[in-house]
């Protein structure tokens, strides 16, 4: 299996270590805030054109995986 490549990283020298999309200065939290406010993914991508759709989707898929792995068994 290929190693997991995350669409985000954290660097203490960039935005104080805030997780950002790889190769970009767009904070991951901003995408989550857009979605929390009910804004569509396309609006986020329009406002942050440096972020690729595939990066945003991969981040959301990773968040979903983590959430489901940590959810208590029914």
* Whether residue 3 has pLDDT greater than 60: no
All domains of the chain in start order, with CATH = 8-67 (1.10.10.10)
pTM, two decimals, is 0.83
Percentages helix, strand, coil for the chain (3-state, rounded to 5) are 50, 5, 45
Per-residue pLDDT of 22-61, as tens digits, reads 999 899 999 999 999 999 999 999 999 999 999 999 999 9
Question: Residue 27's beta-bridge partner residues?
Answer: 20
Residue range 58-71: average pLDDT?
92
What are the CA-CA distances from residue 37 to residues 5, 6, 12, 66 (Å)?
28, 25, 28, 22
* Whether residue 4 has pLDDT greater than 90: no
pLDDT of residue 72: 85
């Amino acid at each position: 299996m290929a190693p997991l490549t995350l669409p985000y990283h954290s660097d203490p020298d960039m935005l104080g270590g805030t997780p950002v999309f790889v190769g970009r200065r767009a904070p991951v939290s901003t995408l989550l805030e857009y979605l929390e406010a009910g804004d569509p993914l396309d609006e986020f991508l329009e406002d942050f054109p440096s972020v690729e759709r595939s990066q945003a989707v991969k981040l959301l898929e990773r968040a979903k995986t983590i959430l489901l792995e940590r959810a208590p068994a029914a």
